[in-house]
Amino acid sequence: MTVQKIPPAHDDVARIEDELIQSILDAPGDEIREYLSEIGEDATKISTDVASTIQRAIGMCGQEQLRQAKDELQAWRTQQSDSLFRPLAQRQTIASHLRSASSGIPLMLAARKGKTLSTSDEEGLAEDLEEAERLERDAEKE
């Protein structure tokens, strides 16, 4: 013998409500306008209100997605060890260290080997660090 589970009354009400909503969504627009006119409602105003509500919901979803993306980016940045993501003081220390590196330590910049940093290398490094700082500031503003 199989015993059927009797659903609680609120499940039946929720199912009926879902079916009613689906029937409204499936109904042709002209039938809905006709029905609204029959009950004395302004179909144009209701249509405008619904469209406005949908646009607000879309905007709120977009803002939430943007907030989540910013949070994910910040979490990712904190896990990075690249010099671009280090604090400004650390990047400046790195640049100072590179500038004062001993001539006995070979460096590779601009895809060539050299014994010391040339003036051009130092200027390029400074420009790159400035650009990285600008990019980070721009990212923080967004």
What is the reported pTM? 0.39
Closest-CA residue to 24 (of 42, 58, 50): 50
Contact 132, 80 (CB under 8 A): no
Q: Are 101 and 118 in contact, with CB atoms under 8 Å apart?
A: no
> Which pLDDT value is given to residue 55?
93
* pLDDT score of 61: 92
Task: Check if the beta carbon of residue 43 is closer than 8 Å to that of residue 30.
Answer: no
Q: What is the pLDDT, as a whole number, of residue 130?
A: 77
Ramachandran region of residue 40, left (φ > 0), alpha (ψ -120 to 50) or beta? left
Return per-residue pLDDT of the chain as tens, 142 residues.
Answer: 455 555 566 688 889 999 998 998 899 988 988 988 899 999 899 989 989 999 999 999 999 998 999 888 888 777 766 555 556 666 666 666 666 654 445 555 544 555 566 667 667 777 777 787 778 777 777 6
Q: Does residue 116 come out as left (phi exceeding 0), alpha (psi in the -120 to 50 range) or beta? A: beta
Q: Where in the chain are the domains?
A: 13-79, 82-142
Q: Which residues pair with 108 in a beta bridge?
A: 113
pLDDT tens for 109-119 read 544 555 566 66
The predicted-structure confidence for 14-26, as pLDDT tens digits, reads as follows 899 999 989 988 9
